[in-house]
Amino acid sequence: MATETELRAMRRAIDVARSVPRTLPNPRVGCVLLAPDGAEIAVGVHRGAGTPHAEADALARAGDQARGATAVVTLEPCNHTGRTEPCASALIAAGVARVIHAQTDPNPKAAGGAAALQAAGINVESGVLADEATALNVEWTFSITHGRPFVTWKYAATLDGLSAAPDGSSKWITSAEARRDVQAFRAESDAIMAGTGAVLADDPRLTVRDEDDLPLPYEQQPLRVVVGETQIPQYYRVFDRVAPTLLIQSRDPDTVLAKLTENEIHHVWLEGGPRLAGGFWNAGLIDRVIGYIAPSMLGSGRAALEGEATTLADLRPIDVQDLRTVGPDIRIIGTPGRCAREEMP
């Protein structure tokens, strides 16, 4: 059983992993190396695809001090050779005596690290603070276990539920504070998706920008995804060189998600418009909803969602996980539940 010192080390590893906003398509992972007396030797973190894994980062910092140490890792050490060598092999070669990990790796291509470590005579303890560690990588874990990207739908609306005026204009319904908040969420996704209608109406950039409204470097930008069969002129901003762009000439949600899976997308941030969002909603393929409600009214215009509901039996509840004000707006984060019609025997 993990000691109090090891539990504290695991919490530190979780905090370190959380400090990196985006590592997709890889999971966020932290590692702490402890000396036999419990003193901290080194801390490692994974910073994204192509960079050292957390265990390798910690081992490089520890050097010879790793021999006989305890490695505390938020995710089961990988047993897969990709851009880097298997972490299980690196821990064995370094002479680590004990490995404690939280979440078991759900990826069949990388799993098996714990067994490899045990076969090498290393003491292994699994599942320590597993729930807290799994929360680091909700979207990645979902994608690996479900075989499709996790879909977060973000929308902004007035108090009367409208996201655009009758003339199609929708900038800006919510405040500057809400728009900055959205940037933080965008930065944690690996694709930002919109339909051709929304792109033609608003000419959005679909990029992640900093506090000064300047785009982050190209290599830090999520993939921009434009869905639909309508042609978009090349001078629209979605085709600039700030970020990569993928066109998917289909509105079928399953086809779209299959294409994104081919491109190693684990978490897609769905923005605009109501038709595209409605297609995903009707198909039951929205996994999280983030809504920004402005304290204003339009009276007429377009709703945020074009669904297929015909009666109150189609009302779908939202399990609210977070509710707060952002500037003058209200932000709601929740998970879609089942409608009454689906609950009928």
Enumerate the active-site residues: 55
Contacts 24+ apart (CB under 8 A), 209-214: 209/183, 210/183, 211/180
Query: Does 339 show up as a binding residue in the annotation?
Result: no
Query: Does 247 show up as a binding residue in the annotation?
Result: no
The rounded distance, in Å, linking the Cα atoms of 112 and 21 is 27
Q: What is the sign, positive or negative, of the torsion defined by CA atoms of 233, 237, 243, 246? A: negative
Cβ proximity of 99 and 33 under 8 Å? no
Query: Does 53 show up as a binding residue in the annotation?
Result: yes
Query: Does 246 show up as a binding residue in the annotation?
Result: no
Query: Does 31 show up as a binding residue in the annotation?
Result: no
Query: Does 272 show up as a binding residue in the annotation?
Result: no
Cite the beta strand spans of the chain per DSSP E. 30-34, 40-45, 70-75, 98-103, 123-125, 150-157, 162-164, 191-195, 223-227, 245-248, 267-271, 288-293, 302-303, 318-326, 329-336
Q: Which tokens belong to 161? A: 């539920």
Query: Strand 40-45 relative to strand 30-34: parallel, antiparallel, unpaired?
Result: antiparallel
Query: Does 78 show up as a binding residue in the annotation?
Result: yes
- Paired residues of 124 in beta bridges: 99
Query: Does 24 show up as a binding residue in the annotation?
Result: no
Query: Does 278 show up as a binding residue in the annotation?
Result: yes
Query: Does 170 show up as a binding residue in the annotation?
Result: yes
Query: Does 273 show up as a binding residue in the annotation?
Result: yes
Q: Which residues are annotated as a binding site for substrate?
A: 170, 186, 206, 209, 271
Q: Which residues are annotated as a binding site for NADP(+)?
A: 156, 172, 202, 273-279
Q: Which residues are annotated as a binding site for Zn(2+)?
A: 53, 78, 87
Q: Which residues are annotated as a binding site?
A: 53, 78, 87, 156, 170, 172, 186, 202, 206, 209, 271, 273-279
